[in-house]
Structure 1
Amino acid sequence: MISIAIDGPAGAGKSTIARAIAKELGYIYVDTGALYRAIGLYANANGVATDDPAGVERLLGGIKVELRYKNGEQRVFLNGYDVSEEIRRPEVSMAASNVSAIPAVRQFLFALQQNMAVEHDVVMDGRDIGTIVLPGAQVKIFLTASPEERARRRYDELKAKGHDVDYDALLEEVRQRDYNDSHRAIAQLKQADDALLVDTTGNTLEQSVQALTKLVKERLRDVL
């Protein structure tokens, strides 16, 4: 099976771009961040602090997370319920960052992620796909953009959905997530040695999608 790993910080456009590439190639898209968001959502709903490793670990026995696909689109199910919309709420973002730093949570989700790549051609995005989850991926991309650009994109997205948000608060959250993801003890956010760095600052989403799709196709021709 063919694996394409796209890593990068929060708000770099990984999910949208990875989804578009998967659709173009006919591959399965795997949004690993959605899995961590589901764990964070569950912890919040059960009153457990997401920066409490012992508390979160105790919850794992009661959690079943599944990825299902409807018309080619990934849906996330938590204990049988579709939570694909709930996990995108702003307050779940930091919860996801917190729980993703917990070794027990990463181990809990690790097999699920790897099994998807064993059974399907995949485009998988996250923080440590090219370094930890799929180190043998045929194509690896590290996608980034400036913190200001990523905060602006998030601001525009949330405003379009009717949320009352503050740009400065979002920028601080982006910077805090970057720090958390790159300084945690395990599975730190970093570029794989054999990953191609792509900075999308200043690009429209459509420009980024077109450029990355072309790049991935070229890389696949080189490695296959």
Structure 2
Amino acid sequence: MGGLANIAIDGPAGAGKSTVAKLVAERLSYIYIDTGAMYRAVTLQALMDKIDMNDAINLTRTAETVDLALRVDGGGNTCVFLNGMDVTSQIRSPQVSNNVSLVSRIPGVRRKMTQLQKEMGAGGGVVMEGRDIGTQVLPDAEMKFFLTASVEERARRRCAELMQRGFTETYAEVYEDIARRDDIDSKRTVAPLKPAVDAEVIDCTGMTVEQVVGVIVARVSGRSG
């Protein structure tokens, strides 16, 4: 696997990174790693422990002590295990979504998660998605992409996703949350959300998932061909 490229896919909340990255990995027979799920798992643990979202010391301690594992089930879906419990559904709740940017801005949390993510990508052949993959986690990744879309479109997509999962957030609530997360993610002092200088920016507004996947797979195939 050492000869395979690493693919970094970054972008703001609701840009479709997880769906696109998973499909790209399937097409290329690469390993898919959802780094956002790792931050969400830490956030879930912090919420369960009733830790203040401004308490950097205890949030860092949580990130350093929880047992996190990403496992692929029989259907090819990535499942997230927190201290041995499958929390794949719980980490997608609105409560976790509303707090994950606050947790992920903590330098100690990012340091620990980045360490784990670098280890995951050390062998090559991974499609890793998040906010700072191309800039911090895998700065030497052979292929880098930054997906973006209008806040309106991202809010519509996230609303549809939440409805499928049984949550009842309104469009206005989701729009406000995405705009707030954009602000926090872009202004944090450690690893702010921004495209890597060598990343291809893809504006997904008006594009289907299949179209975005097609662009990335074509770029990767062209490089290897």
- Identify the TM-score tier after normalising by the shorter chain: over 0.9
TM-score, length-normalised on structure 2?
0.93
Q: Would you say how many aligned residue pairs link Structure 1 and Structure 2?
A: 221
Shift, 1:101, TM fit: 0.6
User: 1:68-122, CA deviations, whole angstroms, 9 ceiling, x for partnerless residues?
Assistant: 2223332111111111111111111132211111111111112211111113410
Aligned residue number for residue 189 of structure 1 = 193
State the alpha-carbon separation in 1 of the partners of residues 108 and 149 from structure 2.
30
1:65 matched to 2:55: no
Which of 197, 210, 217 does residue 213 from structure 1 map onto?
Answer: 217
Which of 119, 144, 151 does residue 148 from structure 2 map onto?
Answer: 144
Shift, 1:191, TM fit: 0.6
TM-score, length-normalised on structure 1?
0.93
Contact 2:40 2:100 in 1 (8 A): yes
For 2:202, what is the secondary structure of its paired residue?
A: strand
State the alpha-carbon separation in 2 of the partners of residues 205 and 12 from structure 1.
10
1:91 matched to 2:82: no
Shift, 1:220, TM fit: 4.2
Aligned residue number for residue 129 of structure 2 = 125
Contact 2:63 2:113 in 1 (8 A): no
1:159 matched to 2:171: no
> Which residue type is aligned with residue 28 of structure 2?
L
Aligned residue number for residue 102 of structure 1 = 106
Q: Structure 1 stretches of 5 or more lacking a match?
A: none
User: 1:7-44, CA deviations, whole angstroms, 9 ceiling, x for partnerless residues?
Assistant: 10010000000000000111100000000000000000
Q: Structure 2 stretches of 5 or more lacking a match?
A: none
Contact 1:139 1:220 in 2 (8 A): no
Contact 1:17 1:212 in 2 (8 A): no
State the alpha-carbon separation in 2 of the partners of residues 220 and 125 from structure 1.
21
For 1:119, what is the secondary structure of its paired residue?
A: coil
Shift, 1:192, TM fit: 0.5
Contact 1:48 1:55 in 2 (8 A): yes
Shift, 1:57, TM fit: 2.2
For 1:188, what is the secondary structure of its paired residue?
A: coil
Which of 49, 53, 76 does residue 52 from structure 2 map onto?
Answer: 49
Alignment identity in percent? 48
